[in-house]
């Protein structure tokens, strides 16, 4: 499981990068409190940061709080990935303008 965990070259923090469903950054104010609550609910003490590229949230970096969390990296990543997808789906269904563009 250690291969999921990377070490920052500048500060030695242990972290993982988690791909999440892409969502426009305009929804960040709705998303952040829900993600914070999810982390607290699962008693995750690490630090999370959203990865935003060209106004699109595409991922989440999670810095582990301690060695105990690193031991459970696979479970932690599964929880964050699954729960963040559910949160994003609810936000998209309630607040997003969804359009379909035919490609053929």
Res 97: pLDDT: 81
Res 3: pLDDT: 67
- Indicate the average pLDDT of the chain: 90
pLDDT higher than 60, residue 1? no
Q: What is the pTM of this model?
A: 0.83
Distance CA 31, CA 62 (A): 16
Domain 2-95: state its class.
alpha beta
Residue 7 bridge partners (DSSP): 14
What are the φ and ψ backbone dihedral angles of 32, each rounded to 5 degrees? -60, -50
pLDDT tens-digit map of 17-56: 998 889 999 999 999 999 999 999 999 999 999 999 999 9
């Amino acid at each position: 499981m250690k291969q999921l965990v990377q070490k920052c070259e500048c500060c030695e923090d242990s972290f993982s990068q988690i791909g999440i469903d892409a969502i426009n950054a305009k929804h960040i104010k709705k998303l952040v409190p829900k993600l914070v609550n999810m982390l607290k609910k699962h008693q995750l003490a690490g630090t999370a940061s959203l990865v935003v590229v060209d106004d699109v949230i595409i991922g989440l970096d999670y810095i582990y709080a301690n060695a105990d969390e690193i031991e459970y990296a696979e479970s932690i990543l599964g929880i964050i990935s699954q729960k963040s997808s559910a949160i994003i789906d609810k936000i998209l269904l309630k607040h997003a303008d969804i359009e379909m563009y035919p490609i053929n």
